[in-house]
Amino acid sequence: MSDRTAGTAAERDLARRGLLPQGVVGDAAMAFMESAFPPGVDRYRGALIGGACGDALGRPVEGRPPEQIRARYGALEDLQPDPQGSIGTFTDDTQLTLWTAEALLEDTEEHPGLFGRSLAERFYSIRGIGTATRTAIERLRDGVPWWQSGVESAGNGVAMRVAPLGLAFGNDLDALRRETARNAVVTHADRLAVASGIMQAYAVARLSRTETGSLDAGDFIDELIAVVVGLEDAGGVERKEGARERIRLVDRIIEIPGMLDLDPAEAFAHTYNGAFVLESLPAALWAFLAHAEDAERAIVVAVNGGYDADTVGAMTGTLAGAYLGETALPSRWVSQVDGIDEIGVVAERLYR
């Protein structure tokens, strides 16, 4: 089967399963992007390096509740040794982001298959791999095609890696939605996971094109809702203690502008911040929007919320870096992140 034939078969199969967005982008998102200014390279570098900084800051405390983080560090504000004793190492959040970018740079149309191949070949080097991604890679290694390898999981393994798609397709929202969905299903064949990836990719695209100091949280959230029109998710029951009702991602996202005056403990008690994307995407959006003009504060708040601290930190760092640029990130973090030069080169290649 040729690549073109396989691509057509994939599109049909994904559409049948409801995993490709249908219809047109909502007016709220389209109107902004049509008048937005083109981003500079500092925003591209900021998005990828900011994500890596949040990932590296959160790695030593991944899975810990906030009480344990406070007992150990007070407030975790500087990179600390990970379980292996290294400082500045990142996890699968940044690894899969870079591999997504590499696949896009190699072949824009065939990137999902290239990304899947990269996952299969690098399986044993992935740090902190999630269960859904592990299962998907096992299927890929068994010869399952990329559009059928993903599992029905609404984990945050999609939203954490899609910054390159937002940077690459920010001038074409239909392409942004389509290509993000095609990347998502390699590991997560779930509408909620796909919708979360599209929201995060759009957020990166939008913020990288927003003049610093001009962000309106209400407008921004309206656009995030508009960009997933045609891919309405059924939501899910939150995993926090006592949760009973099914919540849709868009309903939780809509609440965020009214939560910006809450302290972190109150906000995270409401959103929670585990690996379920119904929790972690709203948590990252809240941490960013509540501290939109201060990249360091946004990332520190996200990480000190605990639980899936590295991923929520990485997603928050990506948003803050896209909006404020690399120069807004603390130099003491940037200088310590492993492989920072490579990350910068990838960002610049995407920009070119």
pLDDT digits (tens, 9 = 90+) for 139-149: 999 999 999 99
- Measured CA to CA, the distance from residue 318 to residue 342 in angstroms comes to 16
Crossing angle of the two packed helices 277-289 and 217-226, in degrees rounded to 10: 150
Q: What is the mean pLDDT of residues 269-297?
A: 95
pTM over 0.85: yes
Comparing 4 with 80, which gets the higher pLDDT? 80
Q: Residue 4: its pLDDT value, please?
A: 44
E strand or H helix at 216: none
Name the percent of the chain in helix, strand, coil, to the closest 5: 65, 0, 35
State the pLDDT confidence band at 5, using cuts at 50, 70 and 90. Answer: very low
Helical ranges in 3-91 per DSSP H: 3-16, 27-35, 41-58, 66-73
- Measured CA to CA, the distance from residue 49 to residue 83 in angstroms comes to 22
- Measured CA to CA, the distance from residue 120 to residue 312 in angstroms comes to 25
pLDDT digits (tens, 9 = 90+) for 35-74: 788 899 999 999 999 999 999 999 999 999 999 999 999 9
239: number of Cβ within 10 Å: 12
In the chain, the domains with their CATH numbers are 24-232+244-351 (1.10.4080.10)
DSSP 221-286: HHHHHHTTTT-----EE--STT--SEE-HHHHHHTGGGGTTS-HHHHHHHH--SSBHHHHHHHHHH
Contact yes or no for 177/183 (Cβ under 8 A): no
Number of residues that make up the chain: 352
- Measured CA to CA, the distance from residue 105 to residue 226 in angstroms comes to 28
